Structure 1
Amino acid sequence: MRFREFWQLVDEVLGSAHGRELTRSLVLGGLDHRTAVQALDDGVEPRFVWHALCDELDIPDAQRWGADTRRQAPPRR
């Protein structure tokens, strides 16, 4: 997943204003108690950040990838 794809999913799945605020303010235990933005700035891969954000918000797998059915879910590893 590229940074561009991460931000597109944030906007589509969470809403542009609300999603952007969550990435700056919501501290995620799955990211060593960092926000999504802090984790990205620290070099964490966007797909790991996306999974941690979705896990924290209890977003079902079926809704994590937005409306684009061609988009494939990146592996969790």
Structure 2
Amino acid sequence: MRLTIFWERMADHFGAGYADSFARDHVMAELGGRTVQQALAEGWDAKDVWRGVCTAVDVPEGKR
């Protein structure tokens, strides 16, 4: 998954204004105790990060 697609999905689910804040501030067990920003900076694949977000916040199946 390209990062542009990842960020589009984040904005679609959380809203453009909140997606960045969520990515910076929300620590998730699904990402090994990291935030989205930390996981991406450490080289995690965007698709794996998106899967973690989907699991953590119960993104509806149609948006996964």
Taking structure 1 as the reference length, the TM-score comes to 0.77
How far residue 40 of structure 1 moved from its aligned partner, in angstroms, is: 0.1
Q: Which runs of 5+ in 2 are unaligned?
A: none
Is 1:55–2:55 an aligned residue pair? yes
Q: Percent same amino acid among aligned pairs?
A: 31
Other-structure match for 1:17? 17
Other-structure match for 2:39? 39
Distance of 1:51 and 1:44 partners within structure 2: 11
> Would you tell me which structure has more helix in proportion to its own residues?
2
State the 4+ residue runs in structure 1 displaced beyond 2 angstroms.
Answer: none
Aligned length: 64
Distance of 1:63 and 1:50 partners within structure 2: 11
Distance of 1:35 and 1:3 partners within structure 2: 16
How far residue 19 of structure 1 moved from its aligned partner, in angstroms, is: 1.3
Taking structure 2 as the reference length, the TM-score comes to 0.91
Letter in structure 2 aligned against 1:55: T
Cα RMSD (Å): 1.0
